[in-house]
Amino acid sequence: MHDNSLWLGRMRGPVKTTMMVFIGLTLALYVWLITQQFISDDAYGMFEMIRPAGRPLVLAMLIIFSLALFFASLFLSDTKGAIETPPEGIFDLVSVVLGRLSMIMTTFIVLVMFYEVVSRYVFSKPTLWANELSLWIAAFVFLLSGLYAMQQRSHIRIYIIYDMMPRWAQKLSDCISVLLIVAFAVALVWGGYTDAENRFMRMETFGTAWDPPIPGIVKPGLLIIIVLVAIQAVSNLIADWNKDPVVHSSSDDIDEIEIENIRRTLEEQK
Amino acid sequence: MVDIGTLSLIVLLGMFALLAIGMPLGFASAFLAVVTLSLKFPPDLLWGDFGRGPMSVLGQAVYRQMTNYVLISVPLFIFMAALLERSGIARDMYSSLNIWLSRVRGGIAVVTSIMAVIMAAMSGIIGGEVVLLGLIALPQMLRLGYNQNLAIGTICASGSLGTMIPPSIVLIFYGLVTETSIKALFTASFLPGFMLASFFLIYIVVRTQMRPDMAPLPPEVPGEPKGGDKGLMFLGFMSRFTAWVAGVLFVRAVFFTVTGDNAVREGQDPIPLGMVSDIPWIVGTFVLCLILIFFVCGRDRTAKGWEMGKGLIAPTVVIGVVLGSIYGGITGITEAAGMGVIAVFVIGMLRREMTFDIVWDSLIRTLRSTGTIIWVTIGAAALAAAYTLVGGPTYVANLIVGADLPTMGIILVMMFVFLIMGMFMDWVGIVLLIMPVFLPIVVRLPAEEIGFLASVDARYIPIWFGVVFCMNMQVSFLSPPFGPAAFYLKSVAPAHISLTDIFKGFLPFIALQLVALSVLLIWPPIVTLFL
């Protein structure tokens, strides 16, 4: 499997093993925690899961789960999806790994919602945490998706005039765009830093029954990710500097590979 | 600092300039938000103190969007659509529909339209839909010698219905921006959506009846059932399917009765089709279906009809899960989208089509599309917050309302703006950037003067305007020079069909869309019939 490795190379195998180990540990611990629900009176529920202080088991679960996610993202970022722009530098790699993380998170949102709907509708036992958990995850999926889209150069742009420009003018336009993106990031951090810092220090919570620290985490996360997006924009500018101009068309968002895939699906079992 | 009129002009011109140099839409709006604030507040207030100052409204506006629960439905609907297009559900649905309608003049065009409506009710996104229809139906129609313009127009116009019939991603964004109930928007768009679809169907049928050479019939297959026999088979299929549905509903109602969830309580909405009083109706339907199966259609015909119609079941289940969750009062829009993902995934598993690769590939596509759409939202939220802070929308609204123009004149000018912008810009940019300015104006117009034949309650004006906007966007998917539907179809059409040919095929359908739009304008109560 070394031949289709993007960047891990010889490390691909070890990373995969580590990922498997941590996923296995997470599952084992998860099963243990679930069993506790049935046999123990003071089992840890979702309320305790986000308050690890003084609960070593919860802390262990959180750490192992984060590591499992981290290694899974690393491993998955090593394979290029058919439609993806391959990563070229260190910042591209960061973006792709974080992109992989948010893809995994998207499935978690679906699962959390499914759990909530089933437990509310079938068992009439609505959870306290499902809505807020999906909100929490989704905020990061939204933010990271922009970083990923930046690395993939798939943000919505209007190319009518851009494509008519000579190459030097395109480069000039790109420079202006990137400069302005950086200016926005600076302005956002300038205006929001104190607020984000305060909320992070207080670990400000959402003010609900489950009470996750959504403002305390998302507000600083927002600033950090905007800065990452700006860095990614600069990195794109450098990477694309000497590339030939690409002619864009409105059909960019539907690609040959997707059509080929659909076509194959249609022809199967005919 | 700068007065609000000059500021608005600077922002508008800045937007054109930044878009022209190819700056991403979301970031252009975000930067213009910074410009707006810089023009309004003195520099020492803005930049004097690191970490605070008026710039903080930008971060707050973005944070509000990021923690918006309804917004989560967007990636989920995209995910669902991505999974859907890689499953064989669409193909089977096409063959099922085609069997029933193969002897009808213009049958494949009719099938295409009906299939598009069903797919529109499953997901709220266009793109994949046009591609699917283009791959399935276009080769068939061209092989049978259908008129090329008719074939192209049918596929693209019907394929664009995805955002007109609920669930619709355009209406979700409209509801988010304007803080209108999305459920109400969905309900309101039902009738106009089906009206537009029926315009397409009527056009196809009338056109092919007048000029039969535009849609030759396929050669007859020997041994194929026809006429009344086929009708009975269809009845048998429907009865058997209804019987199944009734059976499931019966179990569900009994389950509620056992758990006591459906006890009649004060101040609690009854569970639709789940109350004790509903059980006799469900049983009655079930018995009626059995009678139809055994005494009218016959078991053989029913079995054969079932075989022929099987492809329609999966789509119905998906629609039932998504729309049923919303309208059955089970879940909100967001959970409905999540359940839709699960439904498509489970059906795909049952059909033995889902693989890790398909799911992963769909996730990659989902994240890409989410990034592009959500970050336009981020930029637009920042700009809208900054512009509202400096009093922009009020200024524009005063300007227009104070100008003493006829009410419908203003509305028509807005329609014109939508149509022109729709030619060049994505719907998401229009709804996020233009709506915050336009809707306050519309709300302040005298409600009784909106509409030519009848007017609509002032409460429902935002909903009406959302549906009207959605209809405008229908046109934008087809309008040259950048109508996305044309490019989607071009990528799957045979090489000899040029973009010009495709846009030529659109013309009658654009006319139909404009007719539907004028119906909404002339008689606005059409949107409130079900509210």
Give B31's pLDDT tier (boundaries 50, 70, 90): very high
Q: Do residue B59 and residue A223 have CB atoms under 8 angstroms apart? A: yes
Radius of gyration of chain A, Cα coordinates, nearest whole angstrom: 22
What number of helices (H) and strands (E) belong to chain B? 24, 0
Q: Do residue A114 and residue B135 have CB atoms under 8 angstroms apart? A: no
Q: Tell me which residue in A99, A254, A270 faces B367 most closely, judged by beta carbons.
A: A99
Give A82's pLDDT tier (boundaries 50, 70, 90): confident
User: Rounded to an integer, what distance in angstroms lies between the CA atom of residue B344 and that of residue B339?
Assistant: 9
pLDDT at position A180 over 90: yes
Q: Do residue B66 and residue A139 have CB atoms under 8 angstroms apart? A: yes
Q: Does A167 touch chain B (CB under 8 A)?
A: no
Question: Which residues, 6+ apart, have CB-to-CB distance to A196 below 8 Å?
Answer: A219, A220, A222, A223, B59
What burial class does residue B352 get, using C-beta atoms within 10 Å of its C-beta: 0-12 exposed, 13-18 middle, 19+ buried? exposed
Question: Which residues, 6+ apart, have CB-to-CB distance to B176 below 8 Å?
Answer: B68, B70, B71, B182, B377
pLDDT digits over B311-363, tens only? Answer: 888 898 898 888 888 887 677 888 889 999 999 999 999 988 888 888 988 89
| Chain A residues within an 8 Å CB radius of B43 | none
Q: CA nearest A260 in B: which residue?
A: B492
Q: Tell me which residue in B54, B261, B492 faces A124 most closely, judged by beta carbons.
A: B261
How far is the alpha carbon of A184 from chain B, nearest alpha carbon, in Å? 5
How far is the alpha carbon of B92 from chain A, nearest alpha carbon, in Å? 9
Q: Tell me which residue in A84, A158, A218 faces B22 most closely, judged by beta carbons.
A: A158
Give A197's pLDDT tier (boundaries 50, 70, 90): confident
| Mean pLDDT for all residues in chain A | 84
Is residue B233 within 8 A of residue B187, CB to CB? The reply is: no
Give B202's pLDDT tier (boundaries 50, 70, 90): very high
Q: Does A268 touch chain B (CB under 8 A)?
A: yes
Chain centroid offset of residue B65 CA: 22
Average pLDDT over residues B456-460: 84
How far is the alpha carbon of A255 from chain B, nearest alpha carbon, in Å? 8
The per-residue pLDDT for B1 is 67
pLDDT at position B44 over 60: yes
Q: Tell me which residue in B23, B363, B428 faces A157 most closely, judged by beta carbons.
A: B23
How far is the alpha carbon of B286 from chain A, nearest alpha carbon, in Å? 24
Is residue B429 within 8 A of residue B452, CB to CB? The reply is: no
| Chain B residues within an 8 Å CB radius of A195 | 51-52, 56, 59-60
| Mean pLDDT for all residues in chain B | 86
Q: Does A138 touch chain B (CB under 8 A)?
A: yes
pLDDT at position A107 over 50: yes
Q: Do residue B79 and residue A110 have CB atoms under 8 angstroms apart? A: yes
Chain centroid offset of residue B242 CA: 27
How far is the alpha carbon of A30 from chain B, nearest alpha carbon, in Å? 22
User: Rounded to an integer, what distance in angstroms lies between the CA atom of residue A227 and that of residue A162?
Assistant: 26
pLDDT digits over A248-266, tens only? Answer: 654 455 567 777 777 877 7
The per-residue pLDDT for A1 is 42
Q: Tell me which residue in B52, B79, B364 faces A194 most closely, judged by beta carbons.
A: B52
pTM of the model: 0.90
On whether ipTM exceeds 0.85, the answer is yes
pLDDT digits over B464-481, tens only? Answer: 999 999 999 999 889 887
pLDDT digits over B108-163, tens only? Answer: 899 999 999 998 888 777 777 888 888 888 988 888 888 999 999 999 999 898 88
